[in-house]
Amino acid sequence: MSNNDPKVIEEEKEKNHKSGHKEWNEKLASESEAAVKADQDNDPKSVKDLQEETKKKLKE
């Protein structure tokens, strides 16, 4: 996120405009927009899968 830094916001706008990038850009989002996006993001992993990954990492 840009933390409302006008320089970062303007740089990201220019990058998106020049490249024709049309997808969501977290650097242009407010904190609340990023939080909503994270909440709505579909993660294909189940809780069980995440628990198993955690167990494996703890054993390493």
Digit-coded pLDDT (tens) for 3-23: 778 888 888 888 888 888 778
What is the rounded CA–CA span in Å between residue 30 and residue 60?
37
What is the rounded CA–CA span in Å between residue 13 and residue 15?
6
Residue whose pair of structure tokens reads 């909503």 in the numeric block = 36
Q: Where are the domains of the chain?
A: 6-59
In this prediction, residue 52 carries a pLDDT of: 93
Of the two residues 55 and 44, the one the predictor is more confident about is: 55
What is the rounded CA–CA span in Å between residue 3 and residue 29?
9
26-39 pLDDT per residue, tens:
888 888 888 888 88
Residue whose pair of structure tokens reads 């909440």 in the numeric block = 39
pTM exceeds 0.75 for this model: no
- C-beta of residue 26 within 8 angstroms of C-beta of residue 1: yes
What is the rounded CA–CA span in Å between residue 43 and residue 14?
30
